[in-house]
Structure 1
Amino acid sequence: MTVATAIVYSSFMVPYRIGFEAAPVAEGRYLDTFVDVLFGLDIVLTFRLAYHNAERQLVCNAVIIAKKYAKGWLVVDLLSTLPIDSIGRLFVPSENAAQVAQSTKFLRMFRVARLFKLVRLLKIGKVFKRIRDSIQLSPSTERLLKLVTIMICFGHCSGHTWCTDYFFPYDDEPGACSVRVPNEDRYLVAIYWAFTTMTTVGYGDLKPSKFSVPELSFAVVCLIVNSTVFAYVVSGIIGVISNHNPSDREYRTQMNEMKDYVRDTAMSVRLSNNVKRHYDFLLSTTCLFPEEQVI
């Protein structure tokens, strides 16, 4: 659960700091360091974490475990745990470091390299699988939470990418909008744009500049990707709703088949009504699924 919380924290804070060039306060730096240390400990512990092989046998051999981890998640974990900010500061002179960090593309590239930390999201499914095994959730609720999480993550990331001054640099003058408007308000506007684009509403009050090729290009990419994600989420929610009560769905299916049979056999009205009442009683008092196959 702690690792899952750290992954969620990184997935929200990394795009925010890249998009708004927001330097973490002292508490934020301590928390970031704690998260990096936590993932470093997770790497160490994973080398000693037993697992079940294809034959469902528990593998406890340290060498086999290490080889399996090295061929799998080790590279991803190392990339996501590297202290990118600390490495970047090594290449910045100690004097006037703040001005250098704002003016050099080299430092901006290091800031964008923070996105490596988002590869931790690749492990979120594995972590949530452990949580799901310990918490009793219905399949419908689990599926719905997963779809909502996907939608929020895409909206969050696309909104911050829209605002990042690495792609769309702004004029750092006292009257510039990005200087006058607090990051909290810019975040709200970015999320508003992202979700109106994702849901294909697009009121037109926020739109890319027709003179900016990067903004237009990114807007086109967002329209394609986010609309695809939204269609996937909507279809998934429809599937969740339709499969929310499988017993009721099976009941209606069998009742409809029975009604079709009664109609095709040209039964009398009295007999057909008796058959329907009997079938309705039978289905409501018995299990609609083959217990032998389920067990």
Structure 2
Amino acid sequence: MDRLLGKFASLIASDHRHGGKLTIEARASAFSSEALALQSRGAASQRVRSALYSCAASFTSSAMWAAIDGRRFDTAQRHFDRAASLAAMSGDPAIQFRIWSHAGSLYRHLERPADALAANDVARRLPIARRDPFFASLGHARHAAIHGLTGDTRAVRQVLGHAQEALQQADPSEQRPLWASASYDQAELDGLAQTAFLALGSYGESEAHAHRSLAFLPPHMRRDRAIVTARLAQAQLGQGDIEQAVETARSLYDDTTSQHPRVQDMLQEFTSALHIVAAGAQVTRDWDCFIREQRAFR
């Protein structure tokens, strides 16, 4: 178990740097199979067997997240089905929370807000979310991002308030699973708030949360930094700050994370919006030229 948990820590670190890669998904699936193979080797206590199922579920949920992050949604759905089954056998409420919360994110990316809210509600109703304000905060923050899709400004503000209050109540010294403690904090809360307000068209508030998120993000969270920056460019463009928005978008190409599938999708959306907002302008022609040059160097 210690050896597998070491591999899990390495996987989480790779996700923070790159995210969405097929190699991360494949490694996670292989580690899940390795954990399950240990079930058939000799005798083990029920506690150890439950821990092995939890470990396999954790790896499968990481494969699911890598597929979501890489926009491979059909594959993500298959990982979800397997992860949910493993989590049920493990009896581990923390990994059950992660898997159902990821399911909410999957359906949000598929623009199925009703399914996203239902899946995230499963996570939010688990005992662990009632017992630990940390998990309650994460559930509320992800609910806010989903409500952004529905256009419900009141709900977004309400659940973000709950998320912030719960995070402030959470005991930072409490031992939590690595995937949770390494991924959710004030930076992620502001990142989800940024997503919610961008979907609502509240571009000023989205930009404010983007700057807060970037200020809190540690350097190794390169994937998250790129995604927040791409959304920041969209929020600036939505406010008519065209020159600043283009400058923000150009900064993404200083790092290889500009090739991340989600970042690429957002840059395509940015380009389309720029052509609407500033059709024929010099800044738009310069941006198009810049993009062609970047593609030529790939």
TM-score calculated relative to the size of structure 2: 0.24
Higher relative contact order (CA 8 A, sep 6+): 1
Of Structure 1 and Structure 2, the greater helix share is in: 2
Between structure 1 and structure 2, the one with the greater Rg is 1
TM-score (norm 1): 0.25
